[in-house]
Amino acid sequence: GFIVQLPLPKHIDEQAVIHAVDYRKDVDGFHPINVGLLSLGEPCLVPATPKGVIELLKHYNISTEGKHVVVLGRSNIVGKPIAQLFLQKGAQGNATVTICHSRTKDIASICRQADIVVAAIGIPLFVKKEMVKEGAIVIDVGINRGADGKLHGDVNFAEAGEKAGYITPVPGGVGPMTRAMLMLNTVEAAARQSGKTL
């Protein structure tokens, strides 16, 4: 397996490079074949960060069935694939999903309706206490270097944590899951290429 470390310098066509990856070794899950298979709910290499979020929920026995999940961000590497996973039929799926982005109006009121909020927009401390429903699960994907030199998530952990049922910290939380899932994808890719299933 291998990955293309993004972003690439501006003069290189990112999509052309991603298309050139052998989809069977595409452990980031960014190749159009893996993106398509994911949207069809078929076996594929799933992007590591979204996969890690699902694994976190599974580990804590948090069902998503019938829950309203609000995803903040619609990037190809986080927002869209995580929304696809929550829509899948089966465990850690079967959710009702709303995706918000920079043109969404009144994000705060949409967030307040969420049973699960996944923040992946890249704006430090964007999700505040008043945006979180009592007892909601808050998953912070954001990793942002602040002017103070420290890492901050997209969620104001101290504030949102007062209302959340569960909340992930930054650093920690989703970041280490991404790395673990990248390794798992590599093992899965190797197994599939040698005709084995895990």
Q: Which stretch binds ligand NAP (CB under 6 A): 24-32, 36-44, 55-63, 66-74?
A: 66-74
Q: How far is the CB of 20 from ligand NAP (least distance, A)?
A: 21
Q: Which stretch binds ligand NAP (CB under 6 A): 24-32, 36-44, 118-126, 180-188?
A: 118-126
Q: Which is nearer to ligand NAP, 87 or 192 (CB)?
A: 87
Q: How far is the CB of 186 from ligand NAP (least distance, A)?
A: 16
Asked if 89 touches ligand NAP (CB under 6 A), the answer is: no
DSSP state of 49: H
Site string for ligand NAP, 160-189 (x = CB under 6 A): --------------xx--x-----------
* Interface pick for ligand NAP out of 87, 93, 94, 122 (rule CB under 6 A): 122
Q: Which stretch binds ligand NAP (CB under 6 A): 26-34, 37-45, 73-81, 157-165?
A: 73-81
Asked if 74 touches ligand NAP (CB under 6 A), the answer is: yes
Asked if 100 touches ligand NAP (CB under 6 A), the answer is: yes
30, 76 Cβ separation under 8 angstroms: yes
Q: Which is nearer to ligand NAP, 77 or 164 (CB)?
A: 77
64, 136 Cβ separation under 8 angstroms: no
Pairing status of strand 151-152 against strand 96-100: unpaired
Asked if 81 touches ligand NAP (CB under 6 A), the answer is: no
CA distance 107 to 92: 24
Taking alpha carbons only, the member of 112, 102, 118 closest to residue 174 is 118
Asked if 120 touches ligand NAP (CB under 6 A), the answer is: yes
Site residues for ligand NAP, 25-54, by CB under 6 A, read: 49
In one letter, which amino acid is 196? K
Pairing status of strand 151-152 against strand 144-145: antiparallel
Locus of tokens 């609000």: 70
CA distance 168 to 79: 17
72, 104 Cβ separation under 8 angstroms: no
Q: Which is nearer to ligand NAP, 32 or 172 (CB)?
A: 172
Taking alpha carbons only, the member of 7, 77, 86, 15 closest to residue 47 is 77
